[in-house]
Each structure stands twice: as structure tokens, then as C-alpha cells.
Structure 1
């Protein structure tokens, strides 16, 4: 596969000159349609560093961020009155649609009862059981983000094993957990580029190998110095990489043989079903993390432990010296999270909703694949449940290195802006699209039609 990058003369089989011409033309259309947003944004929103409340809001490929008026279901309305079919859905945070009615009701109810008080309430009496039934592990803790949950779970893994290192797969994504910010370059582990203020060589505490490489996994765990393997069941937040048949069985077998714990991070792959990829495919992790959509859009995450890990951690806590564990934040496990999470698990993350999401995701993947084939483009489509990606390179991909090489940033940015101008919003990173319970077949068909128009324009 050719290396991605601006130094190439083409990306995804399309010449860079054509890509730049398309993006420039579509940028002007975008600007002309949004005078209020442009005037409101100007050179940035006053008072915010970089002009935005969070730096990645500037990473959208549009000339300036869309200023949202409101969002409902699978639709966003901006302040210029333009309606967008939303397939980004907050990059999974609103995977079940914007403000699902059961969650909105729960938030209104809890608003009159208090937003935080560092104590459990009646919802927690139900929530612990719901988490165990849904995701299979018996003991749980609540945090605010998946980054926090992963960080805390890795602390537990190191504590109970007495081992210093973790292992990640090249191209992985687990939020902003320091130890996971490593990659392979020419087969050597290095810190990821661009880390702000990082003064450590993160590879001292983290091993990194390629996804789907069972021989490398056996070699990396052989010294028995790895506390935990942390992985998504499917590599996401890169160009999507599905596991080879038998890979997860081998991963579980080798981790057990070497006394290494296995942490499954389902934050993106919860698109697979009500119990995530873990439940659908019978994975047996020692630790489990889920963030983003678990409370229907309210910031929340959960992390669970097997009975054996919980037993070992209790023994560790009894033996260790007293003091702060380095785990937990004051606003984690607050009653607003409890209420929203209970409503999400009981009324939103249902088998019926997932069946609808799966059907429409298959419709979307089929339509995108047909448009790619009709225009003889060297691209492919990948899907995990309700999550669909078109990838501007041949596939399927097998590891993080292939995913990195498949990334075509200039081409993807041009496609993104062109889709926005046709009333469709997808994720600004890696062409990710989500189907929610609120998404309609008509919206899916509009996306397929818009994508087909863009593909034909690029391939002409």
C-alpha cells in the first residue's frame, strides 16, 4: 500500500490537484451558505484559546466550525437554519441519537433532586445489577470519561499483578491515556508525534505490537512483565481494522497462559450490540471499559472487573499503605450520571433499537460499496454493527500500519466538506458514520446518494 501523505501526487487513486480543486470549490459553497456562523466565529470565538472551547473543534475540515442551534434525534440544525442528517453523532457520544426521550426525562427528574453529592442514590440500587447483567462482569465503578476508566483499570491491573508494563496494539485508541500514546515506526516503538509537554519515553512502560499478529503477542508476553493487554475488539479511530478469525481466542489463551490481564475497551465498538462486541462474540475480559454513549450523551463511563480481579484488588487494598490511590475524580459517580445511565440501559440500549440500527447500517454499507464499485475506485467499506466507515484504500486492513497508510487526509477532508454541502454530516476523523435508533432509511439513502455524487465527481 502506498504511503499516505501530502508528498504523494494522489490519494485514494485521485490526483491531489483534483482533490484541492474540489475542496476549494466546496469551501466557498459552505461559506456562502453560513453567513451567521461565519460572522459568529470570525477569527475564532472570543475568550477561547484557539477560538474554540476544545482544540479538536478546529479539526473539522470545514472552513470554520458549524455553530449549532439545536440537535434532536439524528438531525442537527445550525444557526443559519441549515438542517444536517447527523451520522457523526458526537463521535459515538450520541450514538443513540441526540437527547433520547428516556434520558431527557431522567435528566429533568434528577435536576430537581440534586446534581452531585458524593453519595449513592436509589438509581444506583438498580444500576449495579444492570451493568452486571448487560456486560457480564460482576463488579463495577463509574467514572466520567473512558480515558479515566482506562487509566483507573490499568492501575488496578498493575496493582494486582505486580508487573510494570502494559501492551497495546499499533494504531489503538483509548482516549488520552499516557501509556497508550505509542506507535511503531519501522518496527520500533516510539512515542506518538505531537504529544504536548510529554517528557517521558512512554515505551519504557508500554510494549506495542501489530493487531492480529499472534506470534508477536506470544513473544511480547513471554517475559511475564506485562500487567495487562488493553485493546479494542476492533481497531477504530484509525481506518477500521477487523480481527482475523481466531485472533481473539488466541489473545485470551495467551494472556491467560502468561498471567496477563485482558482489558477490552468497548467505547467505540458498543455499536455491535447491547452488550458490545464482547457479549456478541463471547469474549471473556478481566477488565471492561465503556464510555461515551453509556449515559445517552451525559459524560459518564464505567469499568468492570471479573470476580478474580476484584478479589485480588481487595487483597491488595488491605495490604497497601493508606493514602490516595490516584483513582477517582470528585464529579465521577454523580446522580445525574446514575439517572441518565439507568435510563439508557433500561430504555435506549435495547435489542429492538440495535436490530433497527444494524439493518440500516447494512443498508448504508451496501450503498456505499455499490457507489465505490460503480466508479471503479480502489476503496472499501468496513462495518462493526451500527458503525460504518468508507476507507479510501483497498482492503480489508489487518493492522495499524496498514490503517495509517490507508489514511488519505486531503481526500477525506474534501469528501467531508462536499457531503456537508449536501446536507450530511459524518465524523471529521476517518470517515466514520453511525446509525442511531432515530436515523431513518430516507437519511441513509440521502447519504448514499450524496456519496455517490462525490465519488462520481472525483472519478470522472
Structure 2
């Protein structure tokens, strides 16, 4: 018997059946995948696109709202939504209009326009931090803020939480193992020892956090207010307030990454929970699906940033070589789309629609778990929720990871895909958007119920011994 409560042998049998189903019903995707292997590494434009549960990549023809369509003509209800990149639906009408309008007015100039001014004002009003900069991805935003933090504090060490995800910034590719910081498993091409200037501690562990800060060499803590990429892990009551207290006590800056946790509301957890960070970073959905990211800071940090630039200049380092910024950062197309997204798409009304649907979905997951007598749990964070293969909600990344059962997860995901439903591929996370309907939520729950019923009806599914 596995930790998931279902026999591994039966899961393998169930998954094999679903793989055969997919191959038989998706001939055009299978043919495109074969063709792609001649020119694309692994047959996909980014290698992780082959990490889904399907035996061959699924190719999309178009996407709109809460749905997308594949090249074989199948329609899907999408609860993945580009892993948050399309959190407000695929191609919202205001964004489609903005793309057409700006497409005729210039895409990139390396100069600002009025859109940039309006965006800055909207971000300051929404998140409560007065000053903003624009990058292209959340990885860029995090990388640049880490550089600013080191320049301001004149310290080198970055502290992150075990199991975190902040894009592909080199400094965050570490884990905590038996109390030691080590390189993240699977890390490729790493030429220097990240543990020299990066430190990892368990989330929700105040003793470990304070021990890591006491040496007063940590420039910043880079933190998701709730972990979302290793299974969802919510902060313990009072944990984030204590994090803020400890970072201030030891002269460490606090960076809040809201790229996923923006699911809580228009101002993210920063506004909902009054987190008072020194910096905030946010990517993915901020421009309605167009690549863009932002980072904001307090007035004190803005002043410290000026001082840091002055110090660098006095040492003969030109401002243009700060190590921050790319040519396409804050391009005109992204700026216009971000303005429209903030004004018309990423609204209070959108969240008022999304959040109750996520609550309906979370309650439905819990009911299914009870119906099928499974020792699983459900976590919700705003418009995002997840069922996890553990009896109680995990409190650290390591606990969330220990509950993973890749084979079961992928088998269930593939069952859903074969019946026109997509959820996030890397664990059992879902997201509701303004175009999601109650009928969509009920369809996911009904289909998952069917999957569990069929799986558990197979001989030996609940064997006590393998």
C-alpha cells in the first residue's frame, strides 16, 4: 500500500489504459510531436513542455477564456491557465484590443510613454508600495531585486525557503537537507557553489529562520507568502508577522514574490495580509498573458537604491552596467497591455467571481476525498486550490514533497485530459478565472469522481500489501 492509499500496481494499470486512450484519440498531436522531433529538442519549444502526463505532447490550436482547443478538435476546460500566466483567462477581450491597438503604434522603443506613468500609479495604489520598475519575467524581477538588496545592504547572502520557486534565478536553486543548504537536485551546468551565498531553511520554522539571520550577513529573504510550487503550503498563524519582525531586527530586507499568490486578490497577500515588504515582485498574469513583470519598493528602499548607485559610480562603475535590465524590458506593447489589464481585467469584480468558484471547488474536492475514504487533504489560496496526498495540510516544503505520488498524480491528470479538462501538471493545483463557470467546476468534480470510482473499483486497488 502506498502513502496515497491506492496500490501502485493498480495505478500503473489505470495509467496504461489512459495512455492508450490518448494515443488513439489524438492522432494530429501525435503526428506533430513526431514531426517536431526533427527540429525541436525533445519535440517541444521548451523541454518542460514534455513533462505533462500525456504519452506524447498535446498541441494547442487556440485558447479563449477558460477553454482551449487542440489540433484534433477537442475542447478543454482549463484550470491550469498557463500555470497562472493566463490567470484572468486566455486572451481577455480588453487585452486582445490592446494588442491590436499597440501593434499598429510600435512594439518597442527603449523609451517610456504615458502608459508607463499610468501603470506606475495603478501599481502604487493597488499594492501600497510607491515606486516601481518593469522587467520581462518574474525571474528577471527577482534577479534584479536580489541585486538591489545586495547593493543596498552590502551583504551577499540570500535566504530562501526550502522548496521555493522564484523562477530560474541561480541563487534560489538550493534546498535544505538535514539542516544544510545543498544544490537543488537536477540542477544543470552550475559552475560555482551556490551555497556560498544562498541559504535555505524550512518554511514555517521560526527557530531555523532566526538561526539563519542571526549572523547578520543575509541581504534579503526572498519569500512567497504561501508556497505554491511544491504543493501548496500556507503560512502558520503569525508566521509572516514574525518573519517581518526578525528581518527588521537583523537588518535583512524582505522581498515578497506574489507571482502565484496574486490569486488572493487585486493586491495579493501583500495587501490582504498587510505584509509590509521592502520589495515586491510579480510576473506572469500582470499584463494579461503578455510577457511582463514588475517590482516595487518602499520610499526608504528607493532612497537606498539611489545611494547604492552613487557608491557604484564613485568606484568607476557606470550606471548602464548595473547588471539589471534587458532591451525588451518595459517595451511599449507590454506596457500598454499591463495598463489595460490593471484597469479592465484584473479587477475587484474579477476576483469576486473567481474566489467563490475556488471555494466551491475546494469543498467539492473535500467531499470527494470523504466519499472515497482517502486520507488526503485540500488547500485553498484565493482563486487557487489543490488536493494533496496527505492526511493533514503540510507545513513545510519537505512535508508537501513527501506527499507527492507522481504516478497517481499523472494518471489522474491524464484521465482528466482525456475527458477535456486540464489542471496544473506538476501537482494537483487548480485555478479559476473570470470565465470559469460553476458548471465547469462541477464538471471537474464529476470527472474526478469518475476517475476515482473507476480506479478504486479495479481489483486490488485497496490492498493492504503490495
Q: Please indicate, yes or no, whether the TM-score normalized by the shorter chain is above 0.5.
A: yes
Q: CA shift at 1:35, angstroms?
A: 1.0
Tell me if the contact between 1:26 and 1:421 (Cα under 8 Å) persists in the aligned partners. Answer: yes
Tell me if the contact between 1:274 and 1:349 (Cα under 8 Å) persists in the aligned partners. Answer: yes
**Equivalent in the alignment of 1:4:** none
Normalised TM-score (structure 1): 0.97
Query: Could you tell me how far apart the structure 2 residues matched to 1:411 and 1:187 are?
Result: 30
Query: Could you tell me how far apart the structure 2 residues matched to 1:456 and 1:258 are?
Result: 53
Normalised TM-score (structure 2): 0.96
Deviations along 1:224-266, one digit per CA (max 9) or x if unpaired, are: 1000000000001111100000001100000011110000000
Picking from 302, 320, 334, the partner of 1:310 is 302
Q: CA shift at 1:112, angstroms?
A: 0.4
Query: Could you tell me how far apart the structure 2 residues matched to 1:229 and 1:205 are?
Result: 12
Q: Does the alignment pair 1:282 with 2:274?
A: yes
Q: Does the alignment pair 1:10 with 2:29?
A: no
Picking from 367, 381, 399, the partner of 1:370 is 367
Moved more, 442-451 or 315-324: 315-324
Q: Does the alignment pair 1:244 with 2:236?
A: yes
Picking from 377, 384, 388, the partner of 1:387 is 384
**Equivalent in the alignment of 2:424:** 427
Q: CA shift at 1:375, angstroms?
A: 0.3
Q: Does the alignment pair 1:273 with 2:265?
A: yes
**Equivalent in the alignment of 1:5:** none
Picking from 180, 185, 199, the partner of 1:193 is 185
Tell me if the contact between 2:34 and 2:43 (Cα under 8 Å) persists in the aligned partners. Answer: no
SS in 2 for 1:42: helix
Gaps of 5+ in 2: 458-466
Gaps of 5+ in 1: 1-8
Deviations along 1:91-129, one digit per CA (max 9) or x if unpaired, are: 000000000111111111000000001000121121110
SS in 2 for 1:318: helix
**Equivalent in the alignment of 2:461:** none
Picking from 330, 335, 360, the partner of 2:332 is 335
SS in 1 for 2:125: helix
Query: Could you tell me how far apart the structure 2 residues matched to 1:264 and 1:252 are?
Result: 11
SS in 2 for 1:14: coil
Query: Could you tell me how far apart the structure 2 residues matched to 1:46 and 1:127 are?
Result: 43
Q: CA shift at 1:43, angstroms?
A: 6.4
Q: CA shift at 1:377, angstroms?
A: 0.6
Deviating 4+ runs (over 6 angstroms): none
Query: Could you tell me how far apart the structure 1 residues matched to 2:89 and 2:232 are?
Result: 22
**Equivalent in the alignment of 2:463:** none
How many residue pairs get aligned? The number is 452
Q: CA shift at 1:10, angstroms?
A: 2.4
Q: Does the alignment pair 1:403 with 2:400?
A: yes
Tell me if the contact between 1:27 and 1:62 (Cα under 8 Å) persists in the aligned partners. Answer: yes
Tell me if the contact between 1:106 and 1:343 (Cα under 8 Å) persists in the aligned partners. Answer: yes
Query: Could you tell me how far apart the structure 1 residues matched to 2:390 and 2:54 are?
Result: 23
Query: Could you tell me how far apart the structure 2 residues matched to 1:458 and 1:51 are?
Result: 31
Deviations along 1:387-442, one digit per CA (max 9) or x if unpaired, are: 11111222210001101101111110000000111211011111111000011111
Q: CA shift at 1:454, angstroms?
A: 1.5
SS in 2 for 1:76: strand
SS in 1 for 2:149: helix
Query: Could you tell me how far apart the structure 2 residues matched to 1:407 and 1:284 are?
Result: 33
Tell me if the contact between 1:11 and 1:411 (Cα under 8 Å) persists in the aligned partners. Answer: no
Query: Could you tell me how far apart the structure 2 residues matched to 1:96 and 1:165 are?
Result: 36
Tell me if the contact between 1:377 and 1:459 (Cα under 8 Å) persists in the aligned partners. Answer: no
Query: Could you tell me how far apart the structure 1 residues matched to 2:10 and 2:370 are?
Result: 20
Matches for 1:189-268 after TM superposition, within 5 Å? 189-268=181-260
Q: CA RMSD in A?
A: 1.0
Query: Could you tell me how far apart the structure 1 residues matched to 2:49 and 2:264 are?
Result: 27
**Equivalent in the alignment of 1:174:** 166
Deviations along 1:311-337, one digit per CA (max 9) or x if unpaired, are: 011011112133311111000110111
Tell me if the contact between 1:368 and 1:452 (Cα under 8 Å) persists in the aligned partners. Answer: no
**Equivalent in the alignment of 1:22:** 14
Tell me if the contact between 1:11 and 1:410 (Cα under 8 Å) persists in the aligned partners. Answer: no
Q: CA shift at 1:65, angstroms?
A: 1.4
